[in-house]
Amino acid sequence: MQQIVSMDTFKDFSISNQLHYAIEDLGFEKPTPIQSKAFSVILSGKDVVGIAQTGTGKTFAYMLPLLQELKFSKQIHPRILILVPTRELVLQVAEEIEKFSKYLTIRVVKVYGGANINTQQQEVAQGADIIVATPGRLYDLVLSRSLQLKSIKKLVIDEVDIMLDLGFRFQLTNIFELLPSRRQNIMFSATMTDEVNTLIHDFFTAPSTISIAVSGTPLDNIAQYCYSVSNFYTKANLLVYLLKDKDLFNKVLVFVSNKRSADRLFEVLEEEFGYEIAVIHSNKTQNYRIRSIENFNKGKTRVLVTTDVMSRGLHIDHISHVVNLDTPSFPENYMHRIGRTGRAEQEGTSLLFYTEQEQEAKETIETLMDMKISNLDFPEEVEISTRLTPSEQPKDTEPRSTYKKRDTSLGSGFHEKSEKNKKVNQGGSYRRLIAKKYKKPKTRGDKNYNNRNKKK
């Protein structure tokens, strides 16, 4: 049995005087909940998954035990690697570390793209204890042999949901392969997504999860209902049907689990409602996203489709409905989503669409809230779609009996490729498809946005 030790003040933390002095200088009176919870778990050396948003004191939550353990050393190769998704975060995290380690002799080196690589190579060559890095530039430094990761004992991945949403999975996997297998993995994420879960499953060993309660969600102000719906496109039909009541559904935030679903849903809704609909996800440019949110805030667009990760930091008031087009498998995400409505004494409504496969996730949410979500009857007028998304298609279980061995009498395998096979794999077929559809590169969300608005 794990012993429960009270960690209400910094005095309860077994940390060095140098760290205590730094905390005093910073004027921190008491640890934040994530700091109290994370300290002994991280110190134990186990793999850790922390669910916490920026502003909760999470940087200090992982740095405090790591700094406590890090002994003075003159060795060149770093022992702690902290990966973050953006250059701004590299600077921010490094700055925080410098504050905490004011009375320690610790070398922190910042590594990020868009800046001179030679300077960073020189800095790294002088020796580092902690590297704070974005994955791409870090990998470049390792490939150019300027940096060795063989001494890394602790890996922290911060804001991992954003990192994966930005498409860094491949870079992360590459980096994992270069790290010693005996290491502690620590990961912080504000939301749990399927991608985050897969990453944990693939690379973490029996991690401990620390989560801080979603506070201040005024559940009393939110009426919660759910519909049992057979598949994605039927969910889309149901949403179209509901959105026709423009007075009732006057400011609607729709959550989907990933960007593909966001694009699929947008396509259906746009056909029906045109400019009243906007979508934001990480493949849209920053400007496009900012403008979409502004327009939604001002009431120019009535419906905003978003993914969990993109909805972070959205400050939108007077939302009439939050629609959960999918049922989050992590109940915390549901709580974050519905907390977008029913704010500041306003009444709000949340709708949850769940398939048979999602029934269990719905029940987990109900257990967390200790209440049942009222079921509404599926409206007879709504068409039940037979169209399935790729992930809903039945899996092909046919044995691969059609595989033929190459006829060796045909000679060498090194022949000229036929014209058809000369095609180079361009990768990202989905992106190309979308780019074709919108007649522009996917990353130029802006252009498309302007054109569409002009037409209307």
Tokens of 7: 């960690």
Q: Applying CB under 6 A, does 28 fall inside the site for ligand AMP? A: yes
Binding window for ligand AMP (CB under 6 A); candidates: 51-59, 115-123, 239-247, 340-348: 51-59
Q: Which is nearer to ligand AMP, 84 or 269 (CB)?
A: 84
Q: Judge whether 218 and 359 are in contact, CB under 8 Å.
A: no
- Tell me which residues in 53-92 interact with ligand AMP (CB under 6 A): 54-60
Residue 191 engages ligand AMP in binding (rule: CB under 6 A): no
Nearer to ligand AMP, 57 or 445 (CB): 57
State the Cα–Cα distance between residues 391 and 393, nearest whole angstrom: 6
**CB 16, CB 176: distance < 8 Å:** no
221 contributes a contact to ligand AMP by CB under 6 A: no
Which residue's CB is nearer to ligand AMP, number 23 or number 361?
23
CA 8 vs CA 4, 50, 62, 240, 255: distances in Å: 12, 19, 17, 50, 36
Of the candidate spans 52-60, 146-154, 264-272, 297-305, the one that interacts with ligand AMP by CB under 6 A turns out to be: 52-60
Classify burial at 219, counting beta carbons within 10 Å of its beta carbon; exposed 0-12, middle 13-18, buried 19 or more.
middle
Considering only residues 32, 40, 228, 250, which one is a binding residue for ligand AMP as defined by CB under 6 A? 32
Please tell me whether residue 312 binds ligand AMP under the rule CB under 6 A. no
Length of the chain (residues):
456
* Residue (59 or 234) nearer to ligand AMP, CB: 59
8 A C-beta contact, residue 304 and residue 279: yes
Residue 378 makes contact with ligand AMP by CB under 6 A: no
Under the binding rule (CB under 6 A), the answer on residue 8 touching ligand AMP is: no
Is 269 in contact with 236 (CB distance < 8 Å)? yes
Secondary structure (DSSP) of 243-291: HT-TTTSSSEEEEESSHHHHHHHHHHHHHHHGGGEEEE-TTS-HHHHHH
In the complex, least distance from residue 261 CB atom to ligand AMP, rounded to whole angstroms: 29
* For ligand AMP, the closer CB: 27 or 394: 27
| CA pair distance 50, 120, nearest whole angstrom | 30
Name every residue whose Cβ is closer than 8 Å to that of residue 246 and which is 6 or more positions away in sequence.
Answer: 302
Q: State the Cα angle at 113 between 112 and 117, rounded to 5°.
A: 90
Applying CB under 6 A, does 390 fall inside the site for ligand AMP? no
Question: Do 390 and 233 meet the contact criterion of CB atoms below 8 Å apart?
Answer: no
**Which amino acid would we find at residue 340?**
R
Residue 46 beta carbon to ligand AMP: minimum distance, rounded to whole angstroms: 21
Q: Should residue 307 be labelled a site residue for ligand AMP when binding is judged by CB under 6 A?
A: no
Give the binding-site size for ligand AMP (rule: CB under 6 A): 11
The contacts of residue 5 (CB under 8 Å, 6+ apart) are 12, 40
* Minimum gap (Å) between residue 105 Cβ and ligand AMP: 21
Which one among 15, 22, 31, 85 touches ligand AMP, defined by CB under 6 A?
31
The piece of 29-37, 175-183, 214-222, 274-282 that touches ligand AMP (CB under 6 A) is 29-37
Does 101 bind ligand AMP (CB under 6 A)? Our answer is no
Give the count of alpha carbons within 13 A of 110, CB side only.
Answer: 19
Quick one: which segment of 50-58, 166-174, 198-206, 270-278 binds ligand AMP (CB under 6 A)? Answer: 50-58
CB 156 within 8 A of CB 62: yes
Please state the closest distance from residue 99 (CB atom) to ligand AMP, in A.
Answer: 7
Which residues lie closer than 8 Å to 18 by C-beta, 6 or more apart?
Answer: 102, 103, 104
Query: Which residue, 59 or 324, has its beta carbon nearer to ligand AMP?
Result: 59
Q: Which range of residues in 49-57, 108-116, 216-224, 328-336 is near ligand AMP by CB under 6 A?
A: 49-57
Q: Does 211 bind ligand AMP (CB under 6 A)?
A: no
281 contributes a contact to ligand AMP by CB under 6 A: no
Under the binding rule (CB under 6 A), the answer on residue 438 touching ligand AMP is no
HEC-encoded secondary structure of 49-97: EEECCCCCCHHHHHHHHHHHHCCCCCCCCCCEEEECCCHHHHHHHHHHH
Q: Rounded to the nearest whole angstrom, what is the least distance from the CB of residue 144 to ligand AMP in the complex? A: 31
Find the shortest distance in angstroms from Cβ 53 to ligand AMP.
Answer: 7
Residues 227-246 that bind ligand AMP (CB under 6 A): none
Beta carbon of residue 172, minimum distance to ligand AMP (angstroms, whole number): 21
Query: CB of residue 344 vs ligand AMP: minimum separation in angstroms?
Result: 24
User: Which spans of this chain sit near ligand AMP (rule: CB under 6 A)?
Assistant: 28, 31-32, 35, 54-60
